[in-house]
Amino acid sequence: MAALSTGPQPSEIEEKWRSKIVCGRFEIPWSGFQLPGPVAVMKFMGTKSESNIPSSAELDKVHPVLHPDGAVLQSPPPDKVQTTWIGHATVLVQMDGVNVLTDPIFSDFCGPVSMKPVPKRYRKVPLSIDELPRIDAIVISHNHFDHLDIDSVKKLTRRFPQLTWFVPKGLQSWMVDSGVARDQVKEMDWWEDQKIGDHSDVKFVFTPAQHWCRRGMFDRNKVLWGSWCVLGPSKRFYFAGDTGYSEEGLFREIGKRYGPFDLAAIPIGAYSPREFMKSQHINPEEALIVHKELNAKKSLGIHWGTFNLSNEYFLEPKQKIEAAMKDENPKSFITVNLGETFAT
């Protein structure tokens, strides 16, 4: 049984890994990050997409949606990490007696309005909020619309009024305005850790990621972003959220402090065109590097196959990870069908 890390003290964290605020906005404290400027954004908007998403009938064959077995979700194996991919970055993780949901989005659109040009889900959600098992905690990586959906927040709060929300620094007020009780929101800075309750032996640690935040015209980086480590007495889970690759060793640092992880959920999609996405979204090749640097025993590819957010062929993330793993047995980095449940 792995000992539960007490976590680093502030004095132990290098300055480049600590959150940084400049003129009221968070900034990436390490080198190598640069968001695309207006010209690059316009070029991206004018680039022809190669996603080539087919008809629903064809999607049912090549990218099916499974309905999870409710009995399995209600009774996960006590000695394993049981995981169900609900879609995009939404994952149900059941471990050490707690049920955790990541970046829940159950809506058809991921944006401020439910109409085009806001991206629409091209694969239906595998199960509804009413079909979920008990949810003890939800982790939010950042406030982009495809990771923080207000309708899902409201519905989950009504269904599970006692659940605990773990959110980045600066997001508590938004959560409260959306109907969540203030004492059920744990707002955290990088490297802080908290538990669901006084008697829980599962700890949630907010760790850095290379990304950014915005929901409106004038709120860029007013809220922090990051990744999550869920550390139980016997199992460890890592959720990357959204991130670019850090050449300076960010994921090695997280793996050194909190690994090895029994399971990591790592994004593999929304990476093309590369010159536009590189700083903020890893591609499958970089995801595999992250998997190794984290010291993850197994990783699940997420952030693909649900919303069309970029220009790569819609199945390319899955194909590239499978190609990288074809000579490995057992396979340590996998993809699964939407709604599929597995245990590790």
Q: Could you read off the pLDDT of 163-198 as tens digits, one per residue? A: 999 999 999 999 999 999 999 999 999 999 999 976
For residue range 143-159, what is the model confidence (pLDDT) as tens digits?
A: 999 999 999 999 999 99
The domains found in the chain, sorted by start residue, are: 69-343 (3.60.15.10)
pLDDT of residue 4 exceeding 70, the answer is: no
- Phi, psi angles (nearest 5°) of residue 263: -150, 140
Angle at 27 between CA 36 and CA 113, to 5 degrees: 60
Tell whether omega for the bond before 117 is within 30 degrees of 0, i.e. cis: yes
H/E segment holding residue 95: strand 90-95
CA-to-CA separations, 230 to 41, 267, 292, in angstroms, rounded: 35, 17, 18
DSSP result, 160-206: -TT-EEEEETT-HHHHHHTT--GGGEEEE-TT-EEESSTT---EEEE
pLDDT value at position 209?
98
Query: For 75, which DSSP code?
Result: S
**pLDDT confidence tier of residue 3, bands split at 50, 70 and 90:** very low
Q: For residues 133-144, give the mean pLDDT.
A: 97
pLDDT value at position 47?
80
Determine contact, residues 84/341, Cβ cutoff 8 Å. Answer: yes
More confident call, 31 vs 178 = 178
What percentage of the chain reaches a pLDDT higher than 90? 84
Which of 139-143, 184-188, 253-257, 325-329 has the lowest average pLDDT? 325-329
* CA 17 – CA 165 distance, rounded (Å): 24
Q: For residues 325-329, give the mean pLDDT.
A: 88
Closest C-alpha among 271, 273, 278, 274 to residue 301 = 271
Name the pTM for this structure: 0.94
* CA 209 – CA 10 distance, rounded (Å): 18
**pLDDT confidence tier of residue 2, bands split at 50, 70 and 90:** very low
Query: For 92, which DSSP code?
Result: E
Which of 44-48, 109-113, 133-137 has the lowest average pLDDT? 44-48
Query: For 325, which DSSP code?
Result: H
pLDDT of residue 291 exceeding 90, the answer is: yes
Q: Residue 264's beta-bridge partner residues?
A: 238, 299
Q: For residues 104-111, give the mean pLDDT.
A: 96
H/E segment holding residue 156: helix 150-159
Tokens matching residue 57: 């009938």
Q: For residues 254-276, give the mean pLDDT.
A: 96
